[in-house]
Amino acid sequence: MAEKETNRSESTVKYRFPRLGSSHGTKRAALRRNGRARLKWTAGTAGVYLVAAVIGIVFIVPLLWMLSGSLKQTQQMFTYPVKWIPDPFVFRNYLDAWNTIPFGRFLLNTLYFAVLGALGDLVSSSLVGYAFGRLRFPGRNILFIVCLSTVMVPQTAIIIPQFILFKTIHSIDTYIPLILPSWLAYPYWVFLMRQFYMTIPEEFDQSAKIDGCGYFQIYLRILLPLTKPALVTIGIFAVVGDWQKFLEPIVYLNSQIKYTISVGLGLFQGLYTTVSWSLMMAASAIAMFPPVIVFFIAQKYFMQGINLSTGKD
């Protein structure tokens, strides 16, 4: 009973949530802000820029400190007061870090599992999202609420049965435990896809149906191309998310040759005493490089993902 109550309330949150963004007047809001900005240019805007810039700098200090450290000689790491500019610049650190652990292999492993995982996320969430957002069948709303409430189940609460399951099917120390769940519809992506399907006018399906298309045809030919923006967003989030994963890979992967980048980077922790901080910083920078590139190229899609979850298109 108690649990049912939560589910219902939870769904209320989600159901109402989209309405926020779907309100109109964004353009006018923009106009207003422009107007106000021009009025208060001197005091207000300068203040905003100053505060925003200071916070921005605070935010990237750790990353600058990493870059600085990654280019220093070992003895230069340990000075007071700290030096920001390495002297000399030791680019060799990156090469040494690359050779300390089998970086290339770890990167390939991660790419392999992240791409197959993201592919699964796309296929499964677009199929399931189509059912929840488009088709009518008994129990749809209840099932959708169940699906949404599983978003709230933390991975750590269910990892033991999952581990036992994957052990039973002999897939420990393979990528199956890391990839398979993605093919079975991660509820949050399902939710996003459903939201997106619901923004597409029903007339598309209707006219296709009159032309004699089956449901799968409608999905594949009509709707799938229209949901491309949502799919790109989910794909990027999924790849970046897989790149970050740590708990699942250390639980499931045993042999070093199969490590993902996160777990492989973790090897440096074991080398704490023997490997210098500058190599650790260089290694961290290498590991951050791919997601940062993806992020800057695909920025727009990250923000789109948030808008999607709040109901804007």
Q: Which of 30, 54, 151, 96 is nearest to 283 (CA)?
A: 96
| Residue found by looking up tokens 């581990």 in the block | 163
User: Count of alpha carbons within 13 Å of 294, Cβ hemisphere only?
Assistant: 18
Is residue 29 near another protein by the rule CB under 8 A?
yes
Q: By CB under 8 A, what part of segment 83-122 binds another protein?
A: none
- What is the dihedral sign for C-alpha 82, 84, 86, 92? positive
Q: Distance of CA 268 to CAs 76, 103, 201, 231, 277, Å?
A: 20, 12, 53, 36, 10
Whole-angstrom distance between the N-terminal and C-terminal Cα of the chain?
A: 36
The tokens for 143 are 């099932």
Cβ closest to another protein, residue 108 vs residue 165: 165
User: Nearer Cβ to another protein, position 13 or 43?
Assistant: 13
Number of residues that bind another protein (CB under 8 A): 130
Task: Name which of residues 130 to 169 contact another protein (CB under 8 A).
Answer: 130-132, 135-138, 140-141, 143, 146-147, 150, 152-165, 167
In the structure encoding, which two tokens stand for residue 191, read together? Answer: 């939710």
Q: Which of residues 204-263 bind another protein (CB under 8 A)?
A: 214-216, 219, 240, 243-244, 246-247, 250-251, 261-263
- Omega within 30 of 0 (cis) for the link into 81: yes
CB of residue 312 to another protein, shortest distance in Å: 7
- Which residues within the stretch 171-210 sit at the binding site for another protein (CB under 8 A)? 180-181, 183-187, 190, 198
306 binds another protein (CB under 8 A): yes
Write out the binding residues for another protein, residues 45-74 only, by CB under 8 A: 45, 48-49, 51-53, 55-56, 59-63, 65-66, 69
Nearest approach in angstroms of CB 77 to another protein is: 6
Q: Does the footprint of another protein cover residue 124 (CB under 8 A)?
A: yes
Q: Please identify which residue in the block is written with the tokens 């996003």.
A: 192
